[in-house]
Structure 1
């Protein structure tokens, strides 16, 4: 039996985009391309936002939420539960991002009426398992999440954390994220991408001799951005034509503005804002920098690999699951601006090394982490779960 009609749930969604949100959006689009009917439920974070929209042919429904933190969460949970109950006959399976409040509301709504699949995100102190251990009501939420029909672990590290947290082993499924595979980078595509971005805003204008490094992700303390800006002060001393764009949004934006100005880097480091699709930015870039302290499986890193960019990243388990130091990236110690700067300079000064690292990283992404294959494996799991669910229902 096929779970033909899917509802994807992610509390944060465009224009509030991080790795988890981008994956859920890409998943919904690709699942629809592969013949499934998909809808996406999210929160309406601003009253001025429309309550419905279409995201690349996928209907998006924004549910009521208030700005007050605790009350806003309760209002959103109630709205999510109400929608899932009201439209229960219109979907076969619910797919929820994060093991948090959304999962609880979805469980309350569907219970034994529809299968529920959760996907865990993040690892270590910033991951879902740590959140459930530390948050108010976190352990209670964890007990509710135990009851889902399946929990997807995008990385081996997350899989191990779920086991340690007591999730039933038979319900845990290791399924890595995947990304769209763009055309191979060429000087012509790089030039065209830079022209397109410069037309968007003057701050994106680059001189012909300027090299561009990019970071993509949430502007969050755990992403290592303080160290990255400090490293850039060292980079420009040796490579004054290298610029850095920080692509994303998050709570560190004001602090980073201040740090950039204090270091005199306002002409070298740009807070680029949030983009729905970072493909053009990656085509315009020469290097990808990813100094995160902890990661599960980073969608941003996968996208950089697929784009064929040389990569400098931190030596953490989540990154090592995707790239190998000296073979497909240069990995440096966490929270070490000097090592970060040296690695960036080393790649900038060694084109042969940069090309070799980029080619190997792209090859890994193409053969192991394509979005098409990733979504196919997810849908195969969903069909198995739906088939078993319907059999059990007939027995009852």
Structure 2
């Protein structure tokens, strides 16, 4: 019997790496290591990007994606349809990130064929897929087709509830928590080494040895509460004048965040260095990780911070409360409150020993319940259930 053959479909992929893209990249790499054959299908956002490559051991095929709004999406969807139909004998199942155009194209291309299509819902609240279905031009039509998928993975209880409210069949909704790699802390560089390495690559990240560094990693979007974070920074500077705020990532709010920082005269204290493929050095270099979101599904960034042993402050939304017990794994604050956010940051910096004790407990929580290994096993169990074992060797992975 041959190994299980998967197509992972995601419009954004390396080098465009946000939380959803990182999940797909890590799954692809882990599947390959376990003997599963993986092909990542994604968009070619720049014409000079190669159409075929290998990333972290997984083969990647890029489909033409012209930048023209509307026309570019149509061309991309047509490309997905043609590729899946032409290569239908080379895979057993398609796993799609987000319930959007990719999902619509994949489900249409494989309709009537014995090829399961599994969707992965991303985000909750106003930034989630279910909200997008209500706002996008063809959203209701795309949602209707998405409801025909063999299964829809919900990474959080909030996302599962939104899917049910949007009339997705409960029996097709599969709850699989996000997971992240668990690094061996003894193998990580120390804080001073990480700060030097980062400063060598980007002079904006140079900091004095004892200066507190607070880190955010993720998409730069208004719903992430980042404007509150910038407005909280003058309060932090009153107590810690050398404190630095690093907001790492890309997104539509980037320029507006920088304009607000300048308006508040925070140049030299607030930095937006762009996106990083890996954030381990950033997390080790930081004294504190902050996630002030108004909405989350299940934050990969927060899980990564917890896994690295970095103290955390997070908004008290339901998705974050699932991960962080207040004063056990870190501090939670009322979402949208600049004063409460500033107070939580100052408290964690001032009481570093207590913050580190909570961080140890947070890492243990991730090790126990939110490891990448567990997430991979849950996905493979679902895929094997949907793919007849007589056609694959998935059950013989060992």
Q: Same fold (TM over 0.5)?
A: yes
Assess if the C-alpha contact under 8 Å between 1:3 and 1:386 holds in 2: no
SS at match of 1:313: strand
Assess if the C-alpha contact under 8 Å between 1:2 and 1:383 holds in 2: no
Q: Map of 1:273-288 to 2, 5 A cutoff?
A: 273-288=274-289
The match for 1:147 is 148
Alignment partners' CA distance in 2, 1:54 and 1:388: 28
The match for 1:10 is 10
Distance 1:278 1:187, change over 3 A: closer
- Aligned-pair CA distance for 1:87: 1.2
SS at match of 1:295: coil
Assess if the C-alpha contact under 8 Å between 2:155 and 2:175 holds in 1: yes
Gaps of 5+ in 2: 393-398
The match for 2:228 is 227
The match for 1:394 is none
Please state if 1:103 is matched with 2:140. Answer: no
Distance 1:186 1:371, change over 3 A: closer
SS at match of 1:177: coil
The match for 2:60 is 60
Assess if the C-alpha contact under 8 Å between 1:175 and 1:378 holds in 2: yes
Distance 1:289 1:116, change over 3 A: same
The match for 2:217 is 216
Distance 1:67 1:389, change over 3 A: farther
Q: TM-score, normalised by structure 2?
A: 0.95
Assess if the C-alpha contact under 8 Å between 2:2 and 2:391 holds in 1: no
The match for 1:73 is 73
The match for 2:396 is none
1:47-105 deviation digits (Å, cap 9, x = unpaired): 22222222111111111011112111111100111111111111111000001110010
1:83-132 deviation digits (Å, cap 9, x = unpaired): 11111111111000001110010011222231111000111111111111
Assess if the C-alpha contact under 8 Å between 1:52 and 1:60 holds in 2: yes
Assess if the C-alpha contact under 8 Å between 1:3 and 1:383 holds in 2: no
1:6-37 deviation digits (Å, cap 9, x = unpaired): 11011011222211111111111111112111
Gaps of 5+ in 1: 392-396
Distance 1:286 1:186, change over 3 A: farther
Assess if the C-alpha contact under 8 Å between 1:3 and 1:93 holds in 2: no
- Aligned-pair CA distance for 1:352: 2.2
The match for 1:271 is 272
The match for 1:261 is 262
SS at match of 2:252: coil
Alignment partners' CA distance in 2, 1:48 and 1:27: 26
SS at match of 2:158: helix
The match for 2:315 is 314
Q: Map of 1:171-182 to 2, 5 A cutoff?
A: 171-182=172-183
| RMSD (Å), alpha carbons | 1.8
Alignment partners' CA distance in 1, 2:34 and 2:386: 18
Q: TM-score, normalised by structure 1?
A: 0.95
Alignment partners' CA distance in 1, 2:284 and 2:98: 30
Assess if the C-alpha contact under 8 Å between 1:215 and 1:246 holds in 2: yes
Distance 1:72 1:246, change over 3 A: same
1:206-230 deviation digits (Å, cap 9, x = unpaired): 2111121110111111111111011
The match for 2:133 is 132
Alignment partners' CA distance in 2, 1:337 and 1:186: 37
Alignment partners' CA distance in 1, 2:236 and 2:188: 24
Alignment partners' CA distance in 2, 1:13 and 1:27: 12
Moved more, 250-259 or 182-191: 182-191
Q: Map of 1:291-310 to 2, 5 A cutoff?
A: 291-310=292-311
Q: Map of 1:184-223 to 2, 5 A cutoff?
A: 184=185, 189-223=190-224
